[in-house]
Structure formats: C-alpha cells, structure tokens
C-alpha cells in the first residue's frame, strides 16, 4: 500500500467521524473541518492524476450543493456548518454519488430527528442532566446535530467511490 492509498483510506473517514462527534458534542462543525476536506480533495485529486475535467465536475457539484445549502440555511432549516460540510463532501463525491449521498443523508437525518424528538420528551436521569452536551440535545427547541447524518451517509457512500483503493467508481 502506498502513502497515497493510506491517505485515501484514512483522511476522509477520519474527518467525517470528527464532524459527527463535534456536532454531537458541541452542535457546531468547524470551518476548519470543511477547509481540511477541501484541501484533502485537492491534494488527492492532483496526486492521483484526476483529469482536470473531472475535478471541474466535482467542484461544480460542490458549488451546486453550497448554493442549495445556503438557501436551506437562510430558511433556518439547517445550520451553516451543515451546509458547508455537505458541500465539502459533495466535492469528494461529485455528481456520480451525490444523489445516493443526499438520499442517505435525508433518511439518516429524518431518523435522527425522530429519535431526538422522542428523547426530548423523556425526563433525564440526574447523571445525564449534568452533561452539558446531553442537555443541549435534550432542549425542547434545540437544533438537530445533522452533521451526524451527513457523516454517516458519507461513510456509507465513500467505499463505493473511486477514492477507495480497488473500488470501481
């Protein structure tokens, strides 16, 4: 296995896991994370010899998703970090895997929302009520850490992409 293969195996999944855990614990997704995903794509696209036209299509997919994401953000439907994470992930997937990714993210996001709505109806045991991150999740009018759904969907789709050594796009 080459160094590039090791990076392809580890970088994207690690950043997605970090996005999910960060959103769960803090209800924020750092701009640095989206920038790291973008930079990682650029480095790997260049080192793996991705054709310039293909890079352009990946960038177009990310731009389209960013526009839609910010429309959703302006309506209050998603957070700004979610919109940027979705776009950075679309950069890696391009149009080839974008519909599958959006479908999984929607399903996982719906399930996550339903689970949290039910969780918020339950009284918290005292030991959990002392955890600030659990209290944020339990707030009746609190947000949904949608980064969890975005990351889970990304981790389902990623092995099917050309980024995985031996995968067929």
**Residue 165 falls within a domain, yes or no?**
no
pLDDT score, position 168: 47
- Distance, in Å, from the CA atom of 116 to the CA atom of 139, rounded to the nearest integer, reads 10
Among 4-8, 98-102, 147-151, 158-162, where is mean pLDDT lowest? 4-8
The pTM (predicted TM-score) of the whole model is: 0.92
State the CB neighbour count (10 A cutoff) for residue 67: 12
**Residue 167 falls within a domain, yes or no?**
no
Count of the separate structural domains present in the chain: 1
**Residue 138 falls within a domain, yes or no?**
yes
> Does the pLDDT of residue 22 top 50, yes or no?
yes
Backbone dihedral angles phi then psi of residue 32, each to the nearest 5 degrees? -60, -35
**Residue 168 falls within a domain, yes or no?**
no
* Token pair of 48 as six digits: 């793996």
Q: Model confidence over 45-95: pLDDT tens digits? A: 999 999 999 999 999 999 999 999 999 999 998 899 999 999 999 999 999
pLDDT score, position 166: 61
- Distance, in Å, from the CA atom of 96 to the CA atom of 90, rounded to the nearest integer, reads 10
- Distance, in Å, from the CA atom of 102 to the CA atom of 117, rounded to the nearest integer, reads 22
- Distance, in Å, from the CA atom of 126 to the CA atom of 161, rounded to the nearest integer, reads 45
| Residue numbers of the domain that contains 149 | 3-160
**Residue 169 falls within a domain, yes or no?**
no
């Amino acid at each position: 296995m080459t160094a590039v293969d090791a990076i392809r195996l580890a970088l994207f999944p690690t950043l997605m896991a970090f996005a999910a855990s960060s959103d769960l614990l803090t209800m924020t997704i750092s701009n640095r994370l989206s920038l790291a995903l973008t930079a990682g794509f650029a480095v790997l696209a260049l080192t793996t010899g991705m054709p310039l036209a293909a890079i352009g299509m990946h960038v177009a997919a990310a731009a389209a998703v960013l526009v839609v994401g910010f429309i959703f953000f302006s309506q209050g439907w998603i957070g700004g970090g979610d919109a940027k994470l979705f776009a950075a992930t679309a950069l890696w997937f391009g149009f080839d895997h974008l519909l599958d990714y959006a479908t999984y993210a929607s399903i996982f996001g719906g399930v996550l929302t339903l689970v949290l709505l039910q969780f918020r109806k339950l009284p918290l045991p005292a030991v959990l009520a002392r955890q600030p991150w659990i209290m944020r999740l339990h707030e009746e009018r609190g947000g949904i850490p949608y980064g969890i759904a975005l990351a889970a969907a990304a981790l389902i789709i990623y092995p099917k992409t050309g980024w995985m050594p031996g995968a067929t796009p």
